[in-house]
Structure 1
Amino acid sequence: MIDLYYWPTPNGHKATLFLEEAALPYRIVPVNIGAGAQFEPAFLQISPNNRMPAIVDHAPADGGAAVSVFESGAILLYLAEKTGRFIPADLRGRAEVLQWLFWQMGGLGPMAGQNHHFNGYAPEKIPYAIDRYVRETARLYGVLDRRLADRAFVAGADYSIADMAIYPWIVSHEKQDQDLADFPNVKRWFDAIAVRPATVAAYALAEQVNPQPGEMDDKAKAILFGNGSTKA
């Protein structure tokens, strides 16, 4: 059994996409980031960077004590190696998947995240910041669109953890001021992943955990965007 410490965000969705695809037994432990649950001492023992998702695998492949993993990319890689699924075994195929996994972790995720913040949550609308992150998000969409011009999925013919990492950050394209009509290869890829049964199940689960996404009071904003203290 895997305990998944989770809240419905793009990074949280990465873990549920994999767990649903692989049909691994897991239990959701909600981490309400708007209420400051990510700062609880027990959670910090699992995720010292006070970010979710995180997992605790009570049945690791080596048969030993439970293993905890934080950071969404590390979780995807851990689960892929545990199951032998969604990452190629050969050197070159594995390298393709890892490059695009880290492209999301180091590029698309942070840039789209700043786009979300300055476009939607910042108390002051700063045109320079909004323009910078909208433009950089568009550039990254262009990179992805070119990559998908001659292949079904990001790393080739097969769905992989690279796709699982990237897809949740494209779901919010409208909030990022991106039109998928401008990126036809991304749109084709996005539409194909959206109808996968595991994707449908993962996003249905999100609605159960947080039935009112997007609603955020001043206290939640202070916790998420303040000085990192639940007392903010």
Structure 2
Amino acid sequence: MTERITVWLTPPGPNPWKVVLVLEELGVPYVIQSFKFDDVKKPPFININPNGRVPAIVDPNTNLTLWESGAIIQYLEEEYDKEKKLTCDSMQERQLLNQWLHFQMSGQGPYYGQCGWFNVLHPEKVPSAIERYTREVHRVLGVLYGVLQGKDWLVGGKCTFADLAFLPWNARLDSVLLTPPGEDPLTPYPNVQAWHQRMLARDSWKKVISTRDKLMDDQGLQPNGMPKGITNMKEYEEYMEKQATEQP
């Protein structure tokens, strides 16, 4: 019997939920070890991932501890997707899946993250940085728009791990770009919008986002990941320093 994989995560960030989403899709048993962002550089997590970033997994079935979301997804596919639910048959298609996963990790994730940082969390407005990263977000969306012309999925005519890897960050796009309420930031990219909606409708994502919302609420966090009442990273750092000095 397959033992449960432990997924270490802090609930605000999108990257851990890529891993949880793949676990859900594959039906692999897992348990979430949720903790506060304040503790990513402290034991016990720093002993699991010396880089102090989430997610990380501990798999008792193979005696493997692994971090970096893309590496974890590739591992889960190799070890647990024997029926090829989220991958393809041919060598060429499998390499294209890896290509898109790496594009998500090197393109979408970093640029969305920096755009969100300078739009929301940075204590000072830096117009040149906001302009640069907003432009890069739209460049990434333009790449996806082009490749999705005339098809529903990135590779192989089916939903794969490569498609799903883009979902958590695109689900946060309105807060990344500070889109006005009631507007959809994907409207200028209709085939990306339709692709995104197909993934939002999956039962696996509905379960994932419900779990995330509960864990966020348990920690008293706002949608941007900051504790309620905190508006930027400078205030958050001051908050964490105060919490540290008050601990016995």
Aligned to 1:59: 61
Residue 40 of structure 1 corresponds to 42
Which residue in 2 is equivalent to 1:63? none
CA RMSD of the aligned region, Å?
A: 2.3
Q: Is the contact between residue 31 and residue 52 of structure 1 (CA under 8 Å) also seen in structure 2? A: no
Q: Check whether the contact 1:118–1:129 (CA below 8 A) recurs between aligned residues.
A: yes
> Which residue pairs with 2:182 in the alignment?
none
CA distance in 2, matches of 1:126, 1:105: 25
TM-score by length of 2: 0.83
1:231 shift after superposition: 6.9
Contact 1:137–1:176 (CA under 8 A) maintained in structure 2? no
CA distance in 2, matches of 1:68, 1:223: 34
Residue 221 (str. 1) matches residue 233 (str. 2): yes
Higher RCO, Cα 8 Å, sep 6+: 1
Q: Which entry has the higher C-alpha Rg, 1 or 2? A: 2
CA distance in 1, matches of 2:23, 2:139: 30
Q: Secondary structure at the residue paired with 2:134?
A: helix
Q: Distance in 2 between matches of 1:48 and 1:108?
A: 24
CA separation of 1:46 and 1:197: change in aligned 2, threshold 3 A: same
Alpha-carbon distance in structure 1 between the residues aligned to 2:139 and 2:207:
31
Task: Provide closer, same or farther for how the CA distance between residues 133 and 26 of structure 1 changes in structure 2, counting only shifts above 3 A.
Answer: same
Unaligned stretches of 5+ residues in structure 2:
180-184
Give aligned-pair identity as a percent.
32
Q: Quote the offset at 1:6 in angstroms.
A: 1.4
Whole-Å Cα distance in 2 between the matches of residues 56 and 17 of structure 1? 16
CA distance in 2, matches of 1:114, 1:107: 11
Question: Which residue does the alignment assign to 1:91?
Answer: 91
- Of residues 185, 205, 220, the one that matches 2:191 is 185
Q: Which residue of 2 aligns with 1:123?
A: 123
4+ long deviations beyond 6 Å: 223-226, 229-232
Please say which of residues 109-118 and 44-53 is displaced more in the overlay: 44-53
Instruction: Note the residue ranges of structure 1 that are not aligned, 5 or more in a row.
Output: 61-65
**Aligned-residue offset at 1:164:** 1.8
Alpha-carbon deviation of 1:58?
A: 0.8
SS at match of 1:69: strand
Report how far residue 193 of structure 1 moved. 0.2
Aligned residues: 223
* Residue type at the aligned position of 2:32: I
